[in-house]
Amino acid sequence: MVDWDFARPGSRLSDLAYAAYTWVPMQRPEDYAWQGAVDVAGQGRRLRLLCDAYGLDDRSSLLPALRERLTRLADWVEDLASDGDPAMTQLFEHYRSVTRYLNAREPALRLALR
């Protein structure tokens, strides 16, 4: 699957981090409740499975890469929202809230990645 909306050059790790954000999904449970509930433990298991399938042995950089990717996206979209576009405002607020959520759950997610 290729998503061209926010395509730009990046590292393989950044691409894997965004794949995790989208497909694990590494978002707040309320953001994807319509897909079925996945708790933090479930996110951790699915994140580990993604890393296993990708062949990522050293996983220590994945969560920081995910946080950096979301922060860069939020900053970029916030600039786009400066003209008052409500959709862009909602999107950058979403990226910020997901980053806060992941920061709060990072210890559990790190354990799942071992």
**CA geometry: angle at 11 spanning 8 and 14, to 5°?**
85
Percent of the chain with pLDDT over 70: 91
Mean pLDDT for the stretch of residues 26-34:
83
* Residue 61 parent element (H or E): none
Most confident of 10-14, 33-37, 96-100: 96-100
- pLDDT in the model for residue 1: 56
Query: If pLDDT is split at 50, 70 and 90, which confidence band does 17 have?
Result: very high
Q: 55-102 pLDDT, tens per residue?
A: 999 999 999 999 999 999 899 888 888 888 888 889 989 999 999 999
Show Cβ contacts of residue 16 under 8 Å, excluding neighbours closer than 6 positions: 50, 51, 54, 56, 62, 65
Domain borders along the chain are: 12-113
Burial of residue 76 (number of CB atoms within 10 Å: 0-12, 13-18, 19+): middle
The residue with tokens 């449970």 is 29
So what's the pLDDT on residue 101?
A: 95
